[in-house]
Structure 1
């Protein structure tokens, strides 16, 4: 099936998220109470609500926000050109979440709005795609067609997920992107910070540029993994172009 997928029709993406406020104690009373209620089962494991907020505040769309969306797409060499495939990268990153979501929505509406275009991420069907859609709705933004899946048949939803591809129908099996990169001999996507560091880097270091670089590495790794799954060669480092 992957052999029939046109690489140039796929937008690969990854997002980085943080809690809306850094510390649980800084939440307003209503929000704190609702977070406490939503995570009550996790608290039974002996963790405090403050600890759970530090771990999950950024990954729950109701309590977190997106600070970076990095995207990449692959261009195939034209006939007669000897150079190989190229990866072109672009990132939307901003302290104002609504601004970056509008910019990302414009990209989807302008360039990825046909039935032939696809979105691809790792664990994106469970996390990235719904998170982006939820945050857009919270800001009152109209969902681009690529994210508006309500009422669509499963085969009408043009989303690809490398985690789902690797599962081969095994719903109990989770495999991280770094692990898949390791077994496929793809260069490690992240060598600076980890997901656990993003909130600290954002709130304590105020370094969105560092977060952007971290996010872009994931997208490059995602694309290389997809190429491997498709039976293609990796894109050379010199052919990865950043905006």
Structure 2
């Protein structure tokens, strides 16, 4: 049961991704051909691979991670505190920093990772990008040989499915129906590419990513039947 999981054993996370290159033409000829093959069943007949390239960020083979935000509970004081931290910059560097955080502070058997739609997106994307950069997978992302009940991952979207097979609910919708107050967002996922490549505003992307982490934690609290965090319980750490 969720209530039996210690809150301070969970690392909540979210990633923001973009296409590896700003435009389709910047890819090598081979990469353009491979992207067309990879996406041929997702694209409608009248949509070219070039037109579909704006969605390349969701594919680990053709995208890259530009921000990883994490959040964790500190229960040592008189009241619980939720700490937020983000990694940005060159992709290999931020992946190394994130991996070190996992190994140094969230690598014990009791530790779990939690994300919204993390099992379908964030967790495998992180693992694939680490391998592409020649990095060793941290234990929490290395699932080879593990039985389903041994996988240290929680997914708020999966928890909301209650066993229903084809059910997708966005984080924003879950927050809405569960009565979780959300600050006004000046960004949505479809704008990340343009904000990164055209505006160069990584700070704006980081704030958006951290808000998703906080919202995921709030959703998890509601699913447990716990009180929500208030703004005085949330802090950013470097």
Q: Deviations over 1:143-194 (max 9, x none)?
A: 0000000111111111000000000110111000000000111123661111
Match of 1:61, SS?
coil
TM-score normalised by the chain length of structure 2:
0.97
Match of 1:113, SS?
coil
Q: Deviations over 1:63-98 (max 9, x none)?
A: 0000000000012254xx3xx32110000011x100
**Distance change in 2, residues 1:189/1:27 (3 Å):** farther
Alignment partners' CA distance in 2, 1:45 and 1:176: 28
TM-score normalised by the chain length of structure 1:
0.95
Tell me the C-alpha RMSD between the 2 structures.
1.1
Corresponding residue number in structure 2 for 1:67: 66
Match of 1:49, SS?
coil
Alignment partners' CA distance in 1, 2:93 and 2:124: 18
Corresponding residue number in structure 2 for 1:221: 215
Alignment partners' CA distance in 2, 1:170 and 1:77: 38
For residues 197-208 of structure 1, the aligned pairs below 5 Å read 197-208=191-202
* 1:155 maps to 2:156: no
Alignment partners' CA distance in 1, 2:19 and 2:91: 12
Measure how far apart 1:50 and its partner are.
Answer: 1.9
For residues 35-184 of structure 1, the aligned pairs below 5 Å read 35-54=35-54, 56-76=55-75, 78=77, 81=78, 84-94=79-89, 96-184=90-178
Alignment partners' CA distance in 1, 2:183 and 2:29: 39
Alignment partners' CA distance in 1, 2:88 and 2:38: 28
Measure how far apart 1:52 and its partner are.
Answer: 1.4
Unmatched segments (≥5 aa) in structure 1:
none
